[in-house]
Amino acid sequence: MSQTSQSTILPKARKRPQFRNIHVSQIVSYSLPPAGMVSILHRISGAALFLFLPLLLWLFDLSLISELSFARLAEIAGQWWMKLILLGLMWAFLHHLVAGIRYLVLDLHIGLDKGPSRSSALAVFAVSIPLTLLAGLRLFGVF
Ligand code: HEM
């Protein structure tokens, strides 16, 4: 069929919307809804927990071997930079735990609608952030 006869038969093509993945340079300016923030942070916290497992196991090991190794652990864990790392890992654990429970509930088809899903995403932050702050205060010896 010739090009001219094709254009007479087919309706005029409408301009359709195009959906693209965001570019890496847009990450900071892209505003995600709360559920999207929980999701990306769940992935980041899962990866952080996994990548820092060797450090945590080493610290755990030091806590068990002997009195001397326990003293070494106390010395290492007393450094401010180690406290910051541990605080970051506590946030990762608490966010991952609370968001993970949210996902397990969503997997049961509970709270899938837009409103409840947004509320449960905000609840993840409302639980995990104060718990992290509390852990931070304890870690830095405020109480
Ligand atoms: C504390 C209890 C935990 C709960 C309740 C939990 C829950 C979950 C759930 C439900 C998922 C799947 C999320 C989805 O459907 O996309 C997940 C993914 C994952 N979890 Fe956990 N998890 C826990 C602890 C951990 C720990 C200790 C680690 C690491 C050592 C970890 C690492 C990961 C990773 C890497 C993923 C994949 C994340 C992704 O690719 O998006 N989780 N977790």
At 57, which CATH number?
1.20.1300.10
Q: Which atom of ligand 1 is nearest to the CA of 104?
A: 10
Q: How many domains does the chain have?
A: 1
Going from the C-alpha of 97 to that of each of 7, 55, 112, the distances in angstroms are 58, 20, 19
Whose alpha carbon is nearest atom 18 of ligand 1? 46
Whose alpha carbon is nearest atom 1 of ligand 1? 97
Is 87 part of any domain?
yes
What pTM value is reported for the model?
0.85
pLDDT tens per residue across span 32-56: 999 999 999 999 999 999 999 999 9
Whose alpha carbon is nearest atom 32 of ligand 1? 46
Is 6 part of any domain?
no
Q: Which atom of ligand 1 is nearest to the CA of 47?
A: 35
Is 68 part of any domain?
yes
- How far is Cα 45 from Cα 15, in angstroms, rounded to an integer? 41
Is 3 part of any domain?
no
Q: Separation of 46 CA from ligand 1 center, angstroms?
A: 5
Is 51 part of any domain?
yes
Is 13 part of any domain?
no
Pocket test for ligand 1, best of 42, 55, 109, 112 (most atoms within 8 A of CB): 42
Nearest to 41 by CA among 130, 128, 131: 128
The parent domain of residue 67 ranges over 32-139
Query: Which whole number is the average pLDDT over 87-109?
Result: 98
CB-based burial of residue 8 (10 Å sphere; 0-12 exposed, 13-18 middle, 19+ buried)? exposed
pLDDT tens per residue across span 2-35: 444 555 666 777 888 888 888 888 888 888 999 9
Torsion sign, CA atoms 41, 42, 46, 47: negative
Is 22 part of any domain?
no
Please say whether the beta carbons of 106 and 117 come within 8 A: yes
Q: Which residues of 32-51 are buried (b: 16+ CB within 10 A; e: fewer)?
A: eebbebbbebbeebeebbee
Whose alpha carbon is nearest atom 20 of ligand 1? 46
Is 23 part of any domain?
no
